C-alpha cells in the first residue's frame, strides 16, 4: 500500500508517533488510509451540509475496513460571487482545488481518496485531481437543492436574477421580488435546475466516478446519506481491486458524458470542464467531436433554465441511469466501461426504466432532434464558441443585428438595466476571457436582466467570457481566441452587423476582410486588469477557453 511509505518499518517510528499524537491506534494504522477531501464551508448553500455527508462516508470506510482521514478543500459560491470582482476567482479556483488536493494526498501517502464536492468549480477541480493522482477514488456529492414555491409556481435562484430585470422593466414590484427572495432557495443543496453544479454532478455519474444517483438524489433526502455510506464502502473495494481513474475516465467515458450532457441540456460550462478533466488523464477532446455527438443525440429532458422541470423531477423519473438506458436503446452509449460500482455501465443500467416519461422523453418524442449544446465557428470565433441551443427561442436560432460593444460585464449591465439595449441588438461583452477577465467571469447578470425585461427572444449576447449554467436565451460564450489575445472579438466596433446561425453552427462578423486586417494592425493589447496575486499569475499561465482554460 502507498501508506507503507509513512507507516512501515522502524525508520517510520517518528511518523507513526505523529499519527498517535492525533489519537490514531495501531489497528487504524494497519488499515488502508483513505483521504476524505471535504469541501464543506459556511458560504455555499450546496456545501453547508457536507459535514453530514463526510460522517456518512467515514462510517462506510470504517465498515469496510479502512481508516478515513479528512482534510479541507476551498470552494467559491458562484451565486454570491456573481456580478462583481469576486467572480474572477471562480474558474481560477478550479486549479487551486486540484493543486491543493494533489499536495495533500501525495504529501501524506494516502491509499485512496473520497472526493466530496457539490458546486460549480469544486466538482471539476476534484475530478481533475482524481485524474492527476490516479489513486483508487470515488466522488460523492452533496446533492441538489429542492425547488422553491412562489404563488403556486416552482422557483429557483435563476428566478431571482431574472426578477431583477423584471423590476427594472416595471414587470415586478420590489415587494414581490422580496417575497420571491424569501422562498426561491428553500434549503441546502446545489441550486435547483440543470445549472453547472448539477450538470457536473450528473457528468461525474456518467463518467463512472460517482455512484448511480450521485447527480440527482436531493440533498435533503435520506437516500443521499445512504449513498454516502455506500461510497465509503466502495472506495475500499476500489483500493482492493486497484481500479484507478485512468481505467474509468477513458475517451469512451467522455463520449458518454457529452452524449448524456446533450440529452439533458446541460450547462455550457461542461465544454470547459470535461476537456480540462480529460487533459489530466492524457486525453485531448476536440470541439468538432462535441458537435458530432450533439448532432446524433436527441434532447430528452428539458430542465430549468430552458424547460420547466427541476432536478427533483429528473430524479423521480429515474435519474441519469434512466437517461442512459434510453440512449443505449439507440446505441449511443458505450456500455462495456468500468465504473466505481465495480460493475460496467451495462450492469448499472440493466432493468432501469423511465418512471416519468413526461420528464425523460422517448427519442420519438424528443424536445429537439439534436443535443442541448452546440459549438459555433465563423470569422468571429475561429477557434470555436459555445451556446446552449436548447435554451434559445426558435426565433433567435438565426439572427442578424447591430453590435453593441462593451469592454466589461459591468458596463453591459449598466446599459441593459438603463434601457439602452433595444430589440434586435447583439450585445458583445469582451475582455472577460480567461486571460482578459482574468478568470472568465460567469455572466448570469446580463442574461437574466435581458430575460427579465422580456428581451430574451429579441436580443443576443456574445462574449469571450462564459455564461452561467442558469443562463438562457441566445447567449454565445467562450468565443476564442479571446479579445486579450487579439481575437476577432477585439476588432468589433459599435454598429457592426453580426450574423448568428445556430443550426448552421456559425457566428460571423459582417465586416470586409481588408477592414478587419486594418483594425488588427491598429490593435494593441491592453494592460492586464490584475497584475498581482493569484489572479496575476493565473492570467499569465491560463490557456484559451477552447482548451478548457487549463494552465500551461
- Residues designated catalytic: 468
In order, the DSSP letters of 419-482 are T---TT-EEEE-S-STTTTTS--B-HHHHHHHHHTT-TTT-EEEESSB--TT--SSEEE--SS-
Burial label for 36, CB within 10 Å (0-12, 13-18, 19+), is buried
Those residues with Cβ within 8 angstroms of residue 69's Cβ, 6 or more apart along the chain or in another chain: 33, 34, 35, 36, 108, 110
Is 376 within 8 Å of 355 (Cβ atoms)?
no
Q: Please report where in the chains the cell 451495462 appears, as a residue.
A: 346
H or E stretch including 137? Answer: strand 137-139
How far, in Å, CA of 367 to CA of 392, rounded?
13
Task: Please tell me whether the peptide bond between 289 and the residue prior to it is cis, using omega within 30 degrees of 0.
Answer: no
In 10 A of CB 528, how many CB atoms? 16
Apex 141 CA angle, 140 and 146, nearest 5: 140
Q: Which residue has the cell 488523464?
A: 281
User: Can you tell me the distance from the alpha carbon of 400 to that of 398, in angstroms, rounded to the nearest whole number?
Assistant: 7
Question: Can you say how many angstroms the Cα of residue 58 is from the centroid of all Cα atoms in its chain?
Answer: 26
- The three-class DSSP label of residue 113 is strand
DSSP 232-256: HHHHHHHHHHT--HHHHS-HHHHHH
Distance CA 390, CA 374 (A): 9
* Cα(103)–Cα(165) distance, integer angstroms: 44
Amino acid at each position: 500500500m502507498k501508506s507503507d511509505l509513512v507507516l512501515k518499518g522502524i525508520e517510520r517510528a517518528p511518523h507513526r508517533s505523529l499519527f498517535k499524537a492525533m489519537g490514531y491506534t495501531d489497528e487504524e494504522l494497519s488499515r488502508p488510509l483513505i483521504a476524505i477531501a471535504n469541501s464543506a464551508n459556511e458560504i455555499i448553500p450546496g456545501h453547508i451540509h457536507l459535514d453530514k455527508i463526510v460522517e456518512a462516508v467515514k462510517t462506510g470506510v470504517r465498515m469496510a475496513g479502512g481508516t478515513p482521514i479528512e482534510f479541507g478543500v476551498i470552494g467559491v459560491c458562484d451565486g454570491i460571487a456573481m456580478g462583481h470582482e469576486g467572480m474572477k476567482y471562480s474558474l481560477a479556483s478550479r486549479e487551486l482545488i486540484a493543486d491543493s488536493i494533489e499536495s495533500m494526498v501525495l504529501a501524506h501517502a494516502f491509499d485512496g481518496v473520497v472526493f466530496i464536492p457539490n458546486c460549480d468549480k469544486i466538482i471539476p477541480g476534484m475530478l481533475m485531481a482524481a485524474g492527476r493522482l490516479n489513486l483508487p477514488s470515488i466522488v460523492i456529492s452533496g446533492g441538489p437543492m429542492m425547488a422553491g414555491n412562489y404563488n403556486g409556481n416552482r422557483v429557483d435562484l435563476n428566478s431571482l436574477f431574472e426578477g431583477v430585470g423584471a423590476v427594472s422593466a416595471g414587470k415586478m414590484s420590489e415587494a414581490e421580488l422580496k417575497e420571491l427572495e424569501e422562498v426561491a432557495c428553500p434549503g441546502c443543496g446545489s441550486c435547483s435546475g440543470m445549472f453547472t453544479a448539477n450538470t457536473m454532478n450528473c457528468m461525474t455519474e456518467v463518467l463512472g466516478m460517482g455512484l448511480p444517483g450521485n447527480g440527482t438524489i436531493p440533498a435533503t433526502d435520506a437516500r443521499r446519506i445512504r449513498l454516502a455510506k455506500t461510497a465509503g464502502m466502495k472506495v475500499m473495494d476500489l483500493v482492493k481491486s486497484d481500479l484507478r481513474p485512468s481505467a474509468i475516465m477513458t475517451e469512451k467515458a467522455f463520449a458518454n458524458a457529452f452524449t448524456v450532457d446533450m440529452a439533458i441540456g446541460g450547462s455550457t460550462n461542461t465544454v470547459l470542464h470535461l476537456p480540462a478533466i480529460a487533459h489530466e488523464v492524457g486525453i485531448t477532446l476536440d470541439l468538432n467531436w462535441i458537435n458530432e455527438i450533439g448532432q446524433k443525440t436527441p434532447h430528452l429532458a428539458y430542465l430549468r433554465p430552458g424547460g420547466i422541470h427541476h432536478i427533483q423531477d429528473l430524479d423521480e423519473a429515474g435519474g441519469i441511469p434512466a437517461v442512459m438506458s434510453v440512449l443505449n436503446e439507440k446505441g449511443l452509449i458505450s456500455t462495456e466501461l468500468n465504473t466505481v460500482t465495480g460493475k460496467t455501465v451495462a450492469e448499472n443500467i440493466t432493468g432501469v426504466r423511465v418512471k416519468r416519461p413526461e420528464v425523460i422523453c422517448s427519442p420519438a418524442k424528443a424536445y429537439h432532434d439534436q443535443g442541448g449544446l452546440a459549438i459555433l465557428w465563423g470569422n468571429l470565433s475561429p477557434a470555436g464558441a459555445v451556446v446552449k441551443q436548447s435554451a434559445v427561442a426558435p426565433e433567435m436560432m438565426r439572427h442578424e443585428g447591430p453590435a453593441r460593444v462593451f469592454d466589461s460585464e459591468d458596463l453591459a449591465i449598466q446599459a441593459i438595466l438603463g434601457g439602452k439595449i433595444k430589440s434586435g441588438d447583439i450585445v458583445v461583452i469582451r475582455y472577460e476571457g480567461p486571460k482578459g477577465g482574468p478568470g472568465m467571469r460567469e455572466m448570469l447578470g446580463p442574461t437574466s436582466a435581458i430575460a427579465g425585461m422580456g428581451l430574451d427572444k429579441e436580443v443576443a449576447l456574445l462574449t469571450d467570457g462564459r455564461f452561467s449554467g442558469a443562463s438562457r436565451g441566445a447567449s454565445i460564450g467562450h468565443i476564442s481566441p479571446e479579445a486579450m489575445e487579439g481575437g476577432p472579438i477585439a476588432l468589433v466596433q459599435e454598429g457592426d452587423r453580426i450574423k448568428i446561425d445556430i443550426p448552421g453552427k456559425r457566428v460571423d462578423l459582417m465586416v470586409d476582410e481588408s477592414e478587419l486586417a486594418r483594425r488588427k494592425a491598429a490593435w494593441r493589447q491592453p494592460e492586464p486588469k490584475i497584475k498581482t496575486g493569484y489572479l496575476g499569475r493565473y492570467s499569465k499561465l491560463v490557456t484559451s477557453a477552447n482548451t478548457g482554460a487549463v494552465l500551461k
